[in-house]
Chains A and B, each alone.
Chain A
Amino acid sequence: MQVPAYVEYEKATSVGHALALLARFGPEARILAGGHSLIPMMKLRLAQPETLIDINGLSELSYITVTDGELRIGALTRHAQLLDSPVAGAHFAILHDAERVIADPIVRNWGTVGGSLCQADPSEDLSAAFAALKASMIVQDPDGSRTVPAREFHTGPYETVVAPGELLTEIRIAIRPGGGSAYEKVGRRVGDWPVGAAGAAIRLAGDTIAEAGIGLTAVGAQHFAAAEAEEFLRGAPATEASFARAGEIAAKHCRPSSDQRGPADYKRHLAKELTTRALRRALLRARHQDA
Chain B
Amino acid sequence: MQITVTVNGSDYTREVEARLLLIHFLRDELRLTGSHWGCDTSNCGACVVWLDDTPVKSCTVLAAMADGHRVFTVEGLERDGTLDPVQQGFAECHGLQCGFCTPGMMLTSRWLLNHNPHPSATQIREALSGQICRCTGYENIVRSVLWAAKHAEEPTS
Contacts and interface: CB of A to CB of B under 8 A. Distances in A.
A7 B64 CA distance: 12
Given A36-B60, A43-B40, A104-B129, A7 B55 contact: no
B36 interface: no
Given A2-B40, A104-B129, A191-B129, A35 B19 contact: no
A11 B60 CA distance: 17
Contacts of B55: 105-106, 109
Given A3-B19, A7-B18, A7-B19, A36 B42 contact: yes
Given A9-B62, A109-B55, 19 more contacts: A1-B40, A2-B41, A4-B21, A6-B19, A7-B18, A8-B18, A11-B67, A32-B65, A35-B60, A35-B65, A39-B61, A52-B18, A54-B64, A105-B126, A107-B57, A110-B54, A110-B56, A190-B129, A191-B130
Interface of B: 1, 17-21, 24, 40-43, 45, 48, 51, 54-57, 60-62, 64-65, 67, 108, 126-127, 129-131
Contacts of A11: 64, 67
A80 B126 CA distance: 13
Given A3-B21, A6-B17, A35-B62, A107 B54 contact: no
B65 A54 contact: yes
Contacts of A104: 45, 129-131
Contacts of A56: 65
A40 B60 CA distance: 7
A11 B48 CA distance: 24
B40 A39 contact: no
Contacts of B129: 104-105, 190-191
A5 interface: yes
11 contacts: A1-B40, A3-B21, A3-B24, A8-B18, A11-B67, A35-B60, A80-B54, A104-B45, A106-B56, A107-B42, A191-B130
A35 B64 contact: no
